[in-house]
Every structure is written in C-alpha cells, then in structure tokens.
Amino acid sequence: MNNKGQVLLFRFMLSFFIIMLALILIDPLKDSLSESQDENHLNCTSANLTFGQESTCIVTDALLPYFIVFIIAVAFFIILSRKSNNTFE
C-alpha cells in the first residue's frame, strides 16, 4: 500500500475513533445536562425565571446538538484535510 493510502486509512480510523468516543460520551453528557436543569439546580421549568436563568437554560438545551455537530465536523475535517503533516505521514 502506498503512503497516501496509509494516510487515508489512518484518517478514517482516527475519525471513526472520534465518532465512537463521542457516541460513548453522549449518554453521560445527556444525564448531566438533564440533572443540571432539574428543580434543585437551574429549575428551568419554573414560570418566573430571570433573563440570565432563561438564557442559561436555552444554552444548556442547545449544548448536546452542538456537541454532536462539532464532533462530526472534526471527523470530516480529519478525513478531508489535504495538508501534509508529519504527524500523519
């Protein structure tokens, strides 16, 4: 196998590892986010929230989708990057 093929295979394996790591971390992250929004912590279900509390609840709700999109973008960047680094070759 030539050097470019080895680099591409390594990039695929690294991307697959990053995606699997993200999938493993989604469940604990989801549990942590739901625990932080319950009645004892942020209390996001309350009707009288301040602007800061409401903003924090919105950002906390949006964290999981942004995490997933970021990990997928990093994996695709690793696969599609064409810059020759000594790290990958």
- How do the pLDDT tens digits run along the chain, 89 residues long? 667 778 888 999 999 999 999 999 999 999 999 999 998 888 988 889 999 999 999 999 999 999 999 999 999 998 888 765 555 55
What pLDDT score was predicted for residue 86? 54
What is the rounded radius of gyration, in angstroms, for the C-alpha atoms of the chain?
19
DSSP secondary structure, 3-30, as one string: HHHHHHHHHHHHHHHHHHHHHHHHHHHH
The domain spans of the chain are: 3-80
What is the three-state SS of 56-78? Answer: HHHHHHHHHHHHHHHHHHHHHHH
Please state, as a whole number, how many other Cβ atoms lie within 10 Å of the Cβ of residue 53: 14
What pLDDT score was predicted for residue 8? 85
